[in-house]
Amino acid sequence: MEFNLEFKNIQDPNIKLTYFDQYIYSNIIFFAPTYNEEITVKSDYGLKIDNLLKFFDAGHDIMIFGSSQAAGYIRKLVNEFGVDYDDYDTVVKDSVYLYNYKELLNKDLLDLKENEIVVTKNTINIPAVTKLPKGFILYEGIGMDIDLHNQYVFPILKADENAYSIKTATGEIISNGEKIKLVTGYQARNNRRVVITGSINLCSDRFYILSSADGTNPTTSPNSVFCQDMLNWNFQRSGVLKYENIRHQRVYSNFYLNRKRTA
Residue whose CB is less far from another protein, 173 or 240: 240
CB of 173 to another protein, least distance (A): 29
For the bound state, the minimum distance from the C-beta of residue 128 to another protein, rounded and expressed in Å, comes to 19
The alpha-carbon radius of gyration of the chain (Å, integer) is 21
Instruction: Compute the Cα dihedral for 220, 60, 75, 173 and give only its sign.
Output: negative
Dist. CA 6–CA 177, nearest whole Å: 38
Residues of span 143-202 touching another protein by CB under 8 A: 200
Contacts of 60 (CB under 8 A, 6+ apart): 23, 25, 26, 27, 28, 192
| Residue 35 in contact with another protein, rule: CB under 8 A | yes
Among 24, 49, 112, 128, binds another protein (CB under 8 A): 24
Q: How many Cβ atoms sit within 10 Å of the Cβ of residue 92?
A: 30
Q: How far is the CB of 140 from another protein (least distance, A)?
A: 12
9 belongs to the binding site for another protein (CB under 8 A): yes
Alpha helices (H) in 80-187, listed in sequence order = 97-100, 107-112
- Which segment (31-39, 78-86, 119-127, 158-166) binds another protein by CB under 8 A? 31-39
Enumerate residues 194-253 that contact another protein by CB under 8 A.
200, 203-206, 208, 218-219, 224, 227-228, 231
Name the residue among 240, 141, 222 with its Cα closest to residue 182. 141
Collapsing DSSP to helix, strand or coil, 63 comes out as strand
Sites of contact with another protein (CB under 8 A):
1-11, 15-17, 19, 22-35, 47, 200, 203-206, 208, 218-219, 224, 227-228, 231
